[in-house]
Structures are given as C-alpha cells and as structure tokens.
Structure 1
C-alpha cells in the first residue's frame, strides 16, 4: 500500500518478488494496477514445488532463497542502493540481510507484520498446529537470530513484537524502531470499484441483511467463531421477525489451495442448528474481490484468536468502509485500542461470558440500520503510514 506514496518522500523504490507462476496460492492480477509506473519491479524464480514437494518442501521462501541471493547480488553490484527493506512474512528471506550488509555495506530493515519465531503453537495439541510445525519451529528458531544479529532497524505493527525481540536480543534496544500500523489505500477501493463487474459474487441474490467475515479461520479462531455463532443463534431464537431476513457469510476461510479447503464454520453452524443462515466459502478471495464483498455487505464481523497479540489487518479495510462492525478479540489485543475509537464498532472481549456477548450481538444487529455520525474520521490512510516508514528509513541511513 505504500508503493504509490514513497516518491512523495523522496524514495526511489525497487521491488524484488517471486514470479507468481511459482506459487499455488490465489493470484490477483489487479494488484499490478496499484503499482505506479515509476516503481521498478523484478521477479525471481523458485525451485518447482513439483520437485521439492517430493522431499516435503513447499515453502516459497525456501524455494526462492537461492534465486533471491543470486539476483540481488547482481542488482546491488550494478547499482547504488541506500537501504534494503524486508516487508514480507516469508521470513527466511530476511536471513540474507546480514550477508548483503557485510558485502555491500547497505543497512537493512525488517518489518514484523507477524511474529517470526514464536512459541504460540508449542503447547497446542498436534491437531491445532500448522503443517510441518516440527520443522518450521526449529528453522525459525535458527534463522531469526541470524537475521537480527546485524539488522539496522525494525518496524512492527505491535509494540509487543518489538519488546519480545529485545528480550531475546538485548542489542536491538539500541537500533531505530517504529510501531507502524497497517493501513488502507483509497486506490485499492477505487480499483475494486472499477472492476466490480468482473468479480465472482458469493452473496445470494436476495434482500436479506448480509453480515460478513472475510479471512482464514482455522483452529486458532474456533473459540471466537463458536461464541459469535451462539450469539447469532440466541438472536434468531428470540427474534422471529429475522428468521427470513438475515445471513452470515464467512468467505475465504481456508489457507489451502482453492478447491481443497475443508469447511471450519459450516460444521459448527450445523451443530447449533443454524446452518440455513450461515454460508461458508473456503476458497480464498482475491484481495480486490474481498474488498468488494466488504463494501457490498450490510455489516462486518471481526473474530480473533486466543493470542493476545493478534490484530488482524482486515480491521483497517473494515473501518474504511464505515460499516457497522461486531468485534470479538482477546481483551489484550492491540486492535481493541484502535476499534474502541470508532462508534460503528460493537466491541466485546473473547473472555466475556456468553450472555454478555449475546446481548451485545443483538444490539449490534439492531444498530445496522442506524446512520453514523457525520464527524466519522478514518486515520489509517496509507499516505500517513508511508510517511512514518520513510522517517525510520532516514534514521537508519543517517546512522551508517
């Protein structure tokens, strides 16, 4: 989202990414429309998953690591660069930072949009751990200190991420760092609007109230999803006038390739006897199709995990639409500090008892038709977040 704005602050940007043919995830060709013409974009190759899968290796970061090393070595040798900025959750790539800093004398920054090495799943049942957890846990534990030993600056969406890193690596307390939230770009909403006719709509063609959740669910969201569904059941049981007038949509709920996702919400709805109201689509939506569904909804759901550091980048696009939002997050989630500022958000904590959640959810549904105050202000514009990024960039390069 920052790419359209870097030039405003005097930065010429070169982006190196993996050729999308090497990924089996959902691709959104419209993302290219959000990249200004002056941005230099290069694509590197990756070892084919067709072959690496035979030894259990699917990670796009690991499959592309050698190609990143070779290409960027050539790029840095030919041109002068002031800074390397790692903005990805494919963290193994960041382990190349110390090598480039040593060889080319270029500082590097790592942006922690999620934790890298974490013990979050360590005490979870095996059934709730990600695939290949044993390997990825040890790989992350090995690579993180390599990348952070010589890092020049840190960005994170959450102060807790920085604090945890400083606890593990005390020397990081002496380098520049900044807490920069996710944001929303008006350009993205304009692109979605421009291409809306080309999107597949998962909404049923009726005039029912459509309340939408967009994003993966999985086991870490189960508690909040169950509580939301129970609250919905309580509302339906006590409000017969809504029996034929409301639907819940859970879209893009699986991380699996399209066509291979296993429903995680629909079975819960069936157990509660509310399956007629709940529509789940496991296939991932493209970014702009997700935006269009959020725009066309009547209201939105924000469900969280039991991880107190979970934020959820979707809240920024949610808030931008000015739709009514029902949020159920851990009481310590930093997202609550953001959401509580907005009058269109009904905020409950995951630890609240079910009766409180039921009552709050009922009030949320009845509030959907109410207009927002005219002084509604959205403060997480991408331009402002980019300004903060560039401010940190300047601090880092001035210290070299």
Structure 2
C-alpha cells in the first residue's frame, strides 16, 4: 500500500505567468514534490493585479495536476497613494480570507512562504494559532535590513523610510513563530537567529535556487518569439539582472581594464559590447540607469548598453545563450548570493564573475569549474586581460562543468533539500 503524501500549502504572491524572480524556486520545485512525498498546492495573487511583466511560457513547466488557488488584491492606484503599493500589502486581507476557507475544508501538514513579498508571512503566525499548522519561511533576501540606513537618500529604495519601519515591526511577528527557515544564504539565517534568540534552535537549511535545464530548451525552441538584443558583428558580453551602485565595486575593475585595452588596440577591442539588461525594478520606461553613469566616468559609454526595462524570463535565457560571454557582478553586501548564476552555468558559455569575498556564489562556481571567478579584493588586471584576449581571439576552451556539481545544484536536488527540512519540521510537531 502506497504511503499517503503529506500536504503542503505554498504561499507565493507571484506565480506564472507573472515574470518575478522570487517565484522561481516554487516553479522549479513543483515537478518534484510528489516524488519526494509531498502533495503541493499554491495560493497566489491573480496576475491581473500585478504590474510585473507576464510570460505565458512560464506555465509550460507547471505540472497540470498542481492546484493553484488565486486571490484578489486591492488596486494599486488606490493604495499606492498611502504608500501601500506592494502586492503583499494589497493582497493581505484577501489571502487571509481565502486560506481560511481552504484550511477549514482541507487538512494540510505545512504552510510554506516562498517569496520576497515578506509582509504576507505574518499570516503564518495567525494560521498556526487558528489551525495548528506549522509554517516555514523561505528567506530569499533580507527582510528587515540596516543595509541602506547609511546610504544617501538617492541610493535608497523608494519609500524606504516607511518600508524600514514596517519591516522592523512585522519581521519579529513572523519569524519568532516560524517552525523552520530556508534561505539562499547562511548569512540571512545567522542574522535572524542572532536577532531573535528564541529561534536559535529552529530547523533551518541553506538552499540555493536550483538549475532547471528544461527552461533553456523552452527558450531556444521559442526563439522566434523574441527580438534579438545583440548584434552579430560584436563580441557581446551579457549580464541580465538588477543594477545598482552596490555592483560598482565588481564592475569598475572590468571597465578600467577594458578602457586600457581600447587605448592599446582600438581596432580589436572596439568590437566588444557590454549589455546590462533589466537593471531596474521600475515599470517599463521609468527605470533609472545605474551602470551607464559608471561607464561614463571611464569614458567608455559607447561600448556599454544598459536596458533598464525587465525582459521576459525566456527572452533572458535566450539572450544568455546568444551571448559571446557572460558577466556576473556581485553586490558589495557580503550576504548577497546571486541565485541567477545557475541559468548562466547551464548555457555553457564562458563566464567572468566577480563577487564579494564572503559570497557563496564563489564557492558554487568554483565547484562547477568556472575559471574566471574572483573576489573583488583579488581580481587583477592580468586576470581581466586574459579574459578579454580569449574573448576577441575566440580562444575560450569548450566549457564543460563538473557533473557532480551540476547534479548537486539541480532543481531536483534543491527540492529534495526543501523536503528534508519540511519532514523535519512536521516530525518535530508530532
């Protein structure tokens, strides 16, 4: 007789077809939960209430048997005037009502919050008290953070004053009552356990986003749907992801070395183009460039293309596959871990990566066998000269990453790690 699956209710305000980075863990895990002993259902916000880009191709990887519950949200045009524009705050009341109905009618073993829309997590404490169901929070980013406190106002996120105080109030409600934590960074977990001693023995696991190879095939097979952002006559170095001044420390040595190469051999190196794509979270057409001003300081702005608008997930994966080489600059925040590295690795393209010494991304990339990965205290002009020369001379070796690392960081293995923690939490409650 087959053992009954445990039931998992996943709270993810963003979900396909919405193209949001923080729903990727859920999307990539759904195909594997059942084989690992869990029946998963998702509660998300109806995409009509989101102002993020949508990509119908994201739905292709969602198993047909997965139940997806959708909730409403207050209109952003009404709530943003009061500083409540985030989808978490707009949907909070609707989430409470919807999940109350679900939990009255069905028994779930665990609730899993996997999102960076953290205010929604306070409902975990409410549902735990009302229905006796444990919950786990996935810390993909810091929630309440002092990182921007010492930054000039023009470097702080919009409405930072309000968000900082709201997060300071809400975080302890959700975290102190949680039954487990997952995180992309050990630093995030350590910080929370230090801040709230009551959770020092809480089950926790550091789990990066997994590498989901089927996505690259979907992108390539649908390439005719996407306009090309790269010109064939250039050596195109591509980075896709958010921008920001916190990346400048990683980018500056690259720009400085490139400028010196232009001065030495203009004919050869003037064929190089850097593409920084999707650098702003602002609505299309409203983003502020944060990389191009740095290029202007070095006088190389003619070779730098910054597109602040976000592009679709599969458009991004296709563009990575069309690049000559890929560049991943890391934040100066030591806790920052770039979950985006796995699509880069799956492309098999040459990679230049520069991170804070403390970033876990360095270890992961070294495990795969990436050659040009450095921390920005040690990256030297010699390292960068070698990279650029290999690029313009088409001299990169065929990229083949270590099979054991590829398997270790696959989406299936990352889902297995999540389920190990879920089992631990549920068993602790019995």
TM-score by length of 2: 0.88
Does the 8 Å CA contact 2:184/2:339 hold for their aligned counterparts? no
Distance in 1 of aligned mates of 2:155 and 2:399: 42
Per the TM alignment, residue 280 of structure 1 is displaced from its structure 2 partner at its CA by: 1.4
Per the TM alignment, residue 244 of structure 1 is displaced from its structure 2 partner at its CA by: 4.2
Q: Deviation digits for residues 318-355 of structure 1, max 9, x if unmatched?
A: 11212111112111112111122343331222234xxx
Does the 8 Å CA contact 1:344/1:372 hold for their aligned counterparts? no
Per the TM alignment, residue 36 of structure 1 is displaced from its structure 2 partner at its CA by: 0.3
User: Secondary structure of 2:136's partner?
Assistant: strand
Q: Deviation digits for residues 7-53 of structure 1, max 9, x if unmatched?
A: 11121111111111212122222211110011111111110011112
Aligned to 2:105: 78
Distance in 1 of aligned mates of 2:227 and 2:69: 30
Kindly tell me: are residues 399 and 174 of structure 1, through their superposed partners in 2, closer, same or farther at Cα, counting changes over 3 Å?
A: same
Does the 8 Å CA contact 1:323/1:344 hold for their aligned counterparts? no
- Structure 1: which 5+ residue stretches go unaligned? none
Distance in 1 of aligned mates of 2:211 and 2:368: 16
Aligned to 1:16: 43
Aligned to 1:398: 427
Per the TM alignment, residue 175 of structure 1 is displaced from its structure 2 partner at its CA by: 2.2
Q: How many residues align?
A: 396
Aligned to 2:5: none
Kindly tell me: are residues 28 and 357 of structure 1, through their superposed partners in 2, closer, same or farther at Cα, counting changes over 3 Å?
A: farther
Aligned to 2:52: 25
Per the TM alignment, residue 207 of structure 1 is displaced from its structure 2 partner at its CA by: 2.8
Does the 8 Å CA contact 1:232/1:358 hold for their aligned counterparts? no
Q: Deviation digits for residues 43-67 of structure 1, max 9, x if unmatched?
A: 1111001111222321111011001
**Residues 269-308 of structure 1: pairs in structure 2 closer than 5 A:** 269-308=295-334
Answering whether residue 369 of structure 2 is matched by residue 343 of structure 1, we say yes
Q: Deviation digits for residues 285-335 of structure 1, max 9, x if unmatched?
A: 111111111111111111112101111111111112121111121111121
Aligned to 1:188: 215
Aligned to 2:397: 371
**Residues 253-272 of structure 1: pairs in structure 2 closer than 5 A:** 253-272=279-298
Aligned to 2:71: 44
Kindly tell me: are residues 375 and 101 of structure 1, through their superposed partners in 2, closer, same or farther at Cα, counting changes over 3 Å?
A: closer
Q: Deviation digits for residues 225-278 of structure 1, max 9, x if unmatched?
A: 333222221222223342342211111111111111122222332332222221
Answering whether residue 159 of structure 2 is matched by residue 132 of structure 1, we say yes
Per the TM alignment, residue 375 of structure 1 is displaced from its structure 2 partner at its CA by: 6.2
Distance in 1 of aligned mates of 2:266 and 2:131: 69
RMSD (Å), alpha carbons: 1.6
Distance in 2 of aligned mates of 1:343 and 1:191: 26
Aligned to 1:179: 206
Aligned to 1:69: 96
Aligned to 1:317: 343
Kindly tell me: are residues 327 and 375 of structure 1, through their superposed partners in 2, closer, same or farther at Cα, counting changes over 3 Å?
A: closer
User: Secondary structure of 1:310's partner?
Assistant: coil
Distance in 1 of aligned mates of 2:51 and 2:99: 24
Aligned to 1:329: 355
Shifted more, 300-309 versus 227-236: the winner is 227-236
Aligned to 1:34: 61
Aligned to 2:415: 386
Aligned to 1:212: 238
Answering whether residue 383 of structure 2 is matched by residue 360 of structure 1, we say yes
TM-score by length of 1: 0.95
Runs of 4+ in 1 over 4 A off after TM superposition: none
Distance in 2 of aligned mates of 1:376 and 1:247: 29
